[in-house]
Amino acid sequence: MEQTFIILKPSTIQRGLVGDVLTRFQRKGLQITAMKMAQLTEAILREHYAHLIEKPFFPDLLRSMMATPVILMVLKGKDAVEVVRQMIGSTNCRKAAPGTIRGDFGMSGQENIVHASDSIDNAIIEINRFFKPEEIYDYDLLLKPATYAPDEL
C-alpha cells in the first residue's frame, strides 16, 4: 500500500472544516497512519515550498501557512497519491469540480484547504520532512476486506 502526505491548512482550521475533510478521506477507505498538529516555521515552509520561493505570491503564502497551526497527516491506501489528488481537486478552488474537497469547501487559489503530495517520490520526501519514523503507525484496518478485493491487498 502507498502512503501520501497531507496538510490541512490554516484555512481549514479557521473555518472548522477539519472533521469534514477527515471524514471524506476515511469514508473513501484511506487509512490515517500519522497525524499531528504543528505550527509551521518560515524555515520549514521555505524548504517545503522551495519551488515557489521566487513567485510573487510567496510572502503571502508564508503568512497564510503560519496564520495558525496546521494538521499534518500520512494517509495509506492503494494508489493513495493519485486517489487523494483526485479527491482534493484543482489548486484554485473556484475551478475545482463540485464533489472535490476544494470544489466543495473553498473559493480561493491560495486558501485552498489542503496540501497533498503530487507524486510518490514527493510523498516520501514530505513524509520524511514532517514525521519521524516512530510517528507513523502500521496497523490493520478491520474493514480492509470490505474496502479492497483480495488481489488489491
pLDDT digits (tens, 9 = 90+) for 3-51: 999 999 999 999 999 999 999 999 999 999 999 999 999 999 999 999 9
Helix axes 120-130, 80-88, angle to 10 degrees: 90
pLDDT at 31: 97
- Binned at pLDDT 50, 70 and 90, residue 98 comes out as very high
Phi, psi at residue 107, to the nearest 5°?
-135, 5
CA distance linking residue 49 with residue 53, whole number of Å: 7
- Residue 79 corresponds to which amino acid? D
pLDDT at 109: 85
Domain total for the chain? Answer: 1
Per the structure, the complete domain to which residue 12 belongs is given by: 2-152
Give the predicted TM-score (pTM) of the model. 0.92
Check whether 153 has a pLDDT greater than 90: no
The CATH number of the domain holding residue 84 is 3.30.70.141
93 burial via Cβ count (<10 Å: 0-12, 13-18, 19+): buried
What are the respective helix, strand and coil percentages of the chain, to the nearest 5?
Answer: 45, 15, 35
Catalytic center residues: 115
Q: Any residues with CB less than 8 A from the CB of 98 and at least 6 apart, and which?
A: 104
Check whether 110 has a pLDDT greater than 90: no
CA distance linking residue 27 with residue 5, whole number of Å: 17
Q: Any residues with CB less than 8 A from the CB of 27 and at least 6 apart, and which?
A: none
